[in-house]
Amino acid sequence: MSLKHWILPALAFLLLIGCGKRSPKSFTNEVLLPMTPVKNQEKSELCWAYAMLATIETEHILQGDSVNLSPVYIGRMLKYHPSPNVEHPQRAMGQTLLNMIGQYGIVGYDVLPDGATNDLPTPQWVFMLGARYSPKEFAHSVCAPDEYLSLTCWPDSPYYQKIDIPIPDNWEHNRLLNVPLDTLRSHVDRALRSRHPVCWESRGHAMAVMGLAHDTSQRPYYVMKNSWGKRGPHDGLVYMSASKMWKDMVAIYMTRQAYYQDEE
């Protein structure tokens, strides 16, 4: 075979390798908390509701309880809780979820699952262990008022004060405790190692943080529970580098117990 005839097949092979599917990167989990099945927000912009509810669900699992909650219910309740964002009316923050379940309650995922169409009625009652609850009564049993802290790092504002962060998703003007980045990171890492999940938000997406990991080069990662179904090599989980997580972070939510555990 001439050199010309050898080079062309070789280039084609290299292009095939380059365009092929890469093997998933290898990670070692240091902490991986239990969780409910990964959900799918589909075409909605309710990632903040999925992430915050996933955080609440895992907190309950770790307390020996089991709840699986419906983000679709929250989407339906938005008609009573309208956003001024005409272009993205479903966009909000984790604190919005906490505010909404306090006001409108919550129901189980089994009665209003992902993909529920409008012909599936919104439940008026929650039935559990032979008892009947209103959605608001049920919500109070799964998330007490003021159980969660809303945290941020906004260097342009005073630390250890609550601030209204100026982003469109904070249209409720919720106030978050402003904490230095290194301090906030230490609280999050300690919470995870003490078996408490946290909710993470960036300007474009929100996910629940379920663990800590490292790659083969010992670089740190966070294990995130996403809400796009079981896609990807990790069945719906995302391994996000620590540098990206903290670079993109806008808000963090965790229980008061997780944040103040060393001070009790």
80-120: pLDDT as tens digits: 999 998 899 999 999 999 999 999 999 999 999 999 999 99
Per-residue DSSP letter, 263: G
* pTM for the model: 0.90
Question: Cβ(200)–Cβ(213) under 8 Å?
Answer: no
- pLDDT under 70: residue ranges of the chain: 1-24, 262-264
Nearest-angstrom CA–CA distance, 147 and 264: 15
Q: Annotate 189-216 with DSSP letters as a single string.
A: HHHHHTT--EEEE-SS-EEEEEEEEEET
pLDDT given at position 25: 82
Mean pLDDT score across all residues of the chain? 91
Question: Is 62 within 8 Å of 191 (Cβ atoms)?
Answer: no
- Sign of the CA dihedral with 56 first, then 147, 238, and 73 last: positive
What per-residue confidence (pLDDT) applies to 54? 98
Between CA 37 and CA 235 the distance in angstroms is 10
85 CB-contact burial (10 Å; exposed 0-12 / middle 13-18 / buried 19+): middle
What local confidence, expressed as pLDDT, does residue 1 receive?
Answer: 40
pLDDT at 3: 39
- Provide the pLDDT for residue 17: 36
Residue 2: predicted pLDDT: 40
Both tokens of 226, joined, read 């996403």
